[in-house]
Amino acid sequence: MFTLRRRRRSPLASAGVLACAWAFAQGVALGEPANAVIPLPPIAAADEPPLAAEPSLFADDALQPAAFQTRTGQIGWLSGAQSGPLARSFSALAPGSPTSLANDFVADPEFTGGIVVIGRDAAMKIGGYVKADLIQDFNAIESPDSFVTTEIPTDGTDYQNARFHARQSRFSFDTRWQGDGQPVRAFVETDFFGDGADGSSALRLRHAYGRIGRFTAGQTWTTFTDPAAVPQTLDFEGAVSNVNRRQGLVRWTQPLPLEGSSLAVALENPQINVIAPPALPGTGRTETPDFIARLRWEDDWGEFQAAGITRELGFQPDGQGVLTATAWGFNFTGSFLLLEETKAYYQITFGEGIGSYRGSPDVIPTGPMTATVLPVFGWMVGGKHQWTDRLTSNITFSELSLDVPPGAPADSLRGTTYLAVNLICNPLERVFCGIEYLYGVHEVFSGAEGSANRLQFSFGYFLP
């Protein structure tokens, strides 16, 4: 239960977010930068594998700063077949099979291959993909672009719907250099899931962050999530238990003595989702940042991550003082190889007042000066099987439930279920197509529920 806390009004000092920018030389020319030497190795993707496992910034003696012989302002095409210092500096340029290269819609694109803009002592990779989705709904759902199960009507409404769109298409700019011996990265990514008028697709910011060594600041995946432990779905939404929030944060990642392990701590942007009954209008308040810690370990056969969060929730009934309570939660995720061609994924998340990390409520007010912090429990299992070099399948099953107290609105979310099964083909390198079946259930506090079935066809093209 909330308790009233009286306090003086005082603004909370906010931490400034590091903004990184880099200007490239004029006179850009096309050509293969065979003489360029850019000692910029790949930096971890959004899920940040332990830094202890990352290669040294200057792993090759030929890549020392004294060896800089860069033709400034060039645009180059990096391929797995390219040799010499430039290729070695980016490491692991050989892309592997089309299946292993493509079909990852969550992690940052790798800083390998493709078109790279070469500056005097920095490089920028332009990445992204084009993805077209053809969707057929056989039951009513109010989210035609993605399969949001909480948008399934529970009042018996029934209709079918067809929808074609390319809103998941995205592009990114990944710039890397070094300052005073420290690796520096600035990454920006957008898609087209912003709010647009008349069904248009508006640009939306997904990631905008900078990283200096082990320090990260900006907007990216919350430290509470694990993008590496998510089966691939053609549907944009994904499993109902997965923590899929990107938000402003400052984070420090520290490698641990155990090989492949790391500890990360972060302060992150607080958001609160309050359901207020009509008789008790009010406003959610957030006065302190969310504190999150994460322990991660990974090896060739799999990975495991345990994350914990503590946060302060506030609710202010109109004309009254702010009610506050402490919320907490844990998220355990991982993946492992069952067979050489088969990978399994799992997740368990639970806590109180963390529902907004998966699009559900944190708090329900229950009286003039009281409110209930909602307990939440979610789980997911999934798998990926590679049938051939060009053909893969994924399956995901997930449930999320909230312990809603008496007196809550009848349409309050009580539980939801998500199932996705797909078959994805890579007929050409960096080209994919697939078909996916989706099933969802939405249950509310009154006991009413609805279900929906969807079939989705997707076609995509990854930028080199």
Sign of CA dihedral 95, 99, 102, 108: negative
- Parse the chain into domains and list their residue ranges: 14-462
Structure tokens at 68: 């800089």
Would you state the pLDDT for residue 215?
A: 97
Q: pTM for this one? A: 0.79
User: How far is residue 34's CA from residue 82's CA, in Å, rounded to a whole number?
Assistant: 9
- DSSP class of residue 46 equals T
pLDDT, tens digit (0-9, with 9 covering 90-100), for 60-87: 332 233 332 333 445 544 443 333 343 3
E strand intervals along 225-356? 246-255, 261-268, 282-285, 290-299, 302-317, 323-339, 342-352
User: How far is residue 421's CA from residue 437's CA, in Å, rounded to a whole number?
Assistant: 5
Tell me the pairing of strands 74-78 and 114-118.
antiparallel
User: How far is residue 329's CA from residue 293's CA, in Å, rounded to a whole number?
Assistant: 11
Task: State mean pLDDT over 192-210.
Answer: 84
311 contact partners, CB below 8 Å, separation of at least 6? 270, 288, 290, 291, 326, 327, 328, 353, 354
How far, in whole angstroms, is CA 345 from its chain's centroid?
A: 16
pLDDT, tens digit (0-9, with 9 covering 90-100), for 427-452: 999 999 999 999 999 999 999 999 99
Amino acid at 407: G
Structure tokens at 221: 């995946």
User: How far is residue 450's CA from residue 253's CA, in Å, rounded to a whole number?
Assistant: 43
User: How far is residue 216's CA from residue 239's CA, in Å, rounded to a whole number?
Assistant: 27
Would you state the pLDDT for residue 315?
A: 84
Would you state the pLDDT for residue 138?
A: 98
User: How far is residue 48's CA from residue 63's CA, in Å, rounded to a whole number?
Assistant: 24
Would you state the pLDDT for residue 199?
A: 60
Query: 54: pLDDT confidence band, cut at 50, 70 and 90?
Result: very low
What is the separation, in whole angstroms, between the first and last Cα of the chain?
53
Would you state the pLDDT for residue 117?
A: 87
The hierarchical CATH code for the domain 14-462 is 2.40.160.10
Summary mean pLDDT of the chain: 80
Q: What are phi and psi of 12, to 5 degrees?
A: -90, 125
pLDDT, tens digit (0-9, with 9 covering 90-100), for 4-42: 333 343 333 333 333 333 333 333 333 333 333 334 444
Contact 118, 38 (CB under 8 A): yes
User: How far is residue 209's CA from residue 211's CA, in Å, rounded to a whole number?
Assistant: 7
56 contact partners, CB below 8 Å, separation of at least 6? 41
